[in-house]
Amino acid sequence: MIYPAAGSMLYMLLELITAFLFGGLLLGLHRKIIARIQGRPGPPIVQHLIHTFKFYIKELTIPETSSMPLYVAIVLALSAVWVLAFLVGPVLLGPFSIIIMCYAVHKVSEHGIGLASGSPYTKMGSTRAVLSATAEMPLIVAPALVFFKTHTLVLSDIINYQILHGSLFMDLPLAAIATFILLLSKTPFNPFGIVWGKDIVSGYKTEHFGVIRGVMMFGEILGFFVLLWCFLTIFFGGIFNTPLTIMLTMIGVTIILGFICALTPMIAPYHSVMIQWIFALLALINVLFI
Partner 1 sequence: MKIQKQTKNRILAVLTTLPILIGIILNTPLVISVAILTFFVPPSTYYLGLVLMALPKSKKEEDEREKITFTGY
Partner 2 sequence: MNDILDLNSYIIGHVLFGDIVPYLTPFSLALVITIVVFTIFLALSKPELRSVTRFGEDVVRTTTVGKKEAKFRRFMTILCGVALIGVVTTGDIFNFTLFVSLVGITNVGIFAVVKDTHVLDAAFQYGLVMMICSLPLFGGVALILAKTGTLSLGVLAGIPGNPVLNVGRMLLLVGAVGEGALAPFFATKVEMIRAKGAPYINMMHLSSLMVFTRLIEILFIVG
Of residues 274, 263, 259, 115, the one with CA closest to residue 194: 274
Q: How far is the CB of 160 from partner 2 (least distance, A)?
A: 13
Q: Which residues bind partner 2 (CB under 8 A)?
A: 64-70, 73-74, 77, 81, 84, 88, 94-95, 97-98, 100-101, 104-105, 107-108, 111-112, 115-120, 123, 126-127, 130-131, 133-134, 136-137, 140, 143-144, 147, 151-154, 157
Q: Which stretch binds partner 1 (CB under 8 A): 59-67, 136-144, 153-161, 275-283?
A: 59-67
Interface residue with partner 1 among 33, 49, 83, 146 (CB under 8 A) is 83
Interface residue with partner 1 among 212, 226, 228, 246 (CB under 8 A) is 212
Nearer to partner 2, 84 or 255 (CB): 84
**Does residue 59 belong to the site contacting partner 1 (CB under 8 A)?**
yes
Q: Which does 69 bind (CB under 5 to 8 A by kind): partner 1, partner 2, none?
A: partner 2
Cα–Cα distance, 261 to 22 (Å, whole number): 20
Q: How far is the CB of 156 from partner 2 (least distance, A)?
A: 8
**Does residue 57 belong to the site contacting partner 1 (CB under 8 A)?**
yes
Nearer to partner 1, 7 or 39 (CB): 7
Nearer to partner 2, 133 or 251 (CB): 133
Nearer to partner 1, 60 or 251 (CB): 60
Instruction: Identify residues 192-211 at the interface with partner 1 (CB under 8 A).
Output: 210-211
